[in-house]
Structure 1
Amino acid sequence: MDQPTVGILHPGSMGAAVAACAAANAAAVLWCGTGRSTASATCTVQFGLTPVAELDELLDRSDIVISLCPPTAAEDLARDVGAHHFAGVYVEANAINPVRAQRIAALLAPAATVVDGGVVGSPPVGGKRPTLYLSGPSVATARVEALFAGTAVQTAVLGTEVGKASALKLSYASFQKASRVLVALAVGMAREHGVDQELIEVALRRTDSYLSEPQYVAKTAARAWRWGPELEEAADALVSAGLPPEMLRTAAFTLARWNDAKDDTELTLTDALDRLAQQ
């Protein structure tokens, strides 16, 4: 099969680096500089992407288009592409929720074939090897896999249903990003009382990620009746330190869904998640 021409919308640090990897198996990788920032232009020069003057030209020349932009812009960008009746493979690789991914697929159908994508990991530079998770029609996902074969971007297909890749990306991001914010709050509270170094020493004794211990969710549920009030106390301490308490108050509110599981040592992970999902 001939090498495809690829268009990247709108390349920042992640998009430009991913597009550069695609260049290894593409005839050309195009980007449109209209309305883009100086920083975006610098990224594309660094990675050797080919500039075109207008979005029309990029879409007319591209067999595969990859969308990597801020989540808020994803649908507007897809509408612009849809207005030009793009008929190739559209890789929706933004950090958006599954419903939005499905909406974009419907928006671009039937002309374009949409592949849902989610990048987990850092930009593929300096030895970093992120994974691009894919879901969607098998012929289209195979073309995207071939595009990144032998490059620093690893690919993994999750199935044919648009939304699966987005779900995995956001499931991981919800932990990874929120946990970083929790670190800031915890260290901020400790610093207010002069015990921030001691807090770090306590944390260094345990390096495992809680996300790798899903079985502990059931124990969390059984202890929620006392963990919730503890987090409310911590939220009050954040207020005293001039820090925002809303994240901990929301966590306490979430724990309250498990109040009827008090000290239930027989609770399973499935039971705990089922209770958490009850409205």
Structure 2
Amino acid sequence: MDQPTVGILHPGSMGAAVAACAATNAAAVLWCAAGRSSASAERAMKAGLTSVATLPDLLDRSDIVISLCPPVAAEDLAHDVARAGFAGVYVEANAINPERATRISEELGPEATVVDAGVVGSPPVRGKTPTLYLSGSPAATARLEALFAGTRVRTKVLGTDVGQASALKLAYAAYQKTSRVLVALATGLAREHGVDQELIDVASRRTASYLSEPEYIAKTAARAWRWGPELEEAADMLEAAGLPPQMLRAAATTLARWDDVKDDSKLTLNDALDRLVQP
């Protein structure tokens, strides 16, 4: 069985937990202590990672490098790796858009093999089992499937094109994280008028995710002509309460792309999505 040496850049809460799972099937999992915080060092120690002094040390010894860092740093980090001449498998697992993932692949290639990746779910601790979505070279993605086999990190290969995993990650994040912000706005707005508990009571009657009901998009489009103005009214309320209204105004602007399909009961999901892309 292939037991590669793995390098993790850098052990944040997700990176350290993923690296600890990789250690199950790896010869060693390395991290670079240079410039890292004491919190990173503590996470690495708890995960059982092996410290090396410099990035070139880590790259020289690693067969597979996993990049898990704040999105803003992803390209700079990849540039440093490319400049060092890394020639193994580079797993670009940051929450970045497909265009950035493609640029990173082009910068690191052809010496390195870049696998586009995206983690969906919470860090694999206390029974959590996130999924690492992968796209890229079949040989490289197969190595990663083997690396995480039998661990709390599940893997799923989406295809061979760099960018597919990044696209899935950000598509899901767009819904999940924006939804959390909307919860904060809705609750803040209700609290200003003393009805926040009632709002929670209303919401508790429905627990399913709207993301699991794509067929409803066509109904949303057909109702957009009245939903848009309703959201503008809500945005005015937010502004009056000192809360930021921009998100609801943006949603109203999005709904306006469907103004010409008022109450169209025959509209299909594809029709609605086509109109959203090309109003």
Q: TM-score, normalised by structure 1?
A: 0.99
Residue in structure 2 matched with residue 203 of structure 1 by the alignment: 203
CA distance in 1, matches of 2:4, 2:215: 45
Moved over 4 A (4+): none
Residue in structure 2 matched with residue 65 of structure 1 by the alignment: 65
1:1-279 equivalences in 2 (<5 Å): 1-278=1-278
SS in 2 for 1:122: coil
CA distance in 1, matches of 2:263, 2:68: 46
Deviation at 1:11, TM superposition (A): 1.1
1:89-131: per-residue Cα shift (whole Å, max 9, x none)? Answer: 0000000001111110001001000000000000000000000
Amino acid at match of 1:248: L
Deviation at 1:2, TM superposition (A): 3.6
- Structure 2: where are the runs of 5+ without partners? none
Deviation at 1:33, TM superposition (A): 1.0
CA distance in 1, matches of 2:187, 2:236: 15
1:144-200: per-residue Cα shift (whole Å, max 9, x none)? Answer: 110000000000000101100000000100000000000000000000000000000
CA distance in 2, matches of 1:170, 1:98: 9
CA distance in 2, matches of 1:188, 1:237: 11
CA distance in 1, matches of 2:117, 2:15: 13
- Structure 1: where are the runs of 5+ without partners? none
CA distance in 2, matches of 1:185, 1:28: 46
CA distance in 2, matches of 1:61, 1:141: 20
CA distance in 2, matches of 1:64, 1:267: 48
Deviation at 1:10, TM superposition (A): 1.0
CA RMSD of aligned residues (A): 0.6
Deviation at 1:46, TM superposition (A): 1.1
CA distance in 2, matches of 1:240, 1:38: 44
Amino acid at match of 1:189: L
CA distance in 1, matches of 2:240, 2:217: 30
Indicate the percent of aligned positions where both proteins have the same amino acid.
Answer: 77
Deviation at 1:241, TM superposition (A): 1.1
Deviation at 1:40, TM superposition (A): 1.0
Deviation at 1:35, TM superposition (A): 1.0
Q: TM-score, normalised by structure 2?
A: 0.99
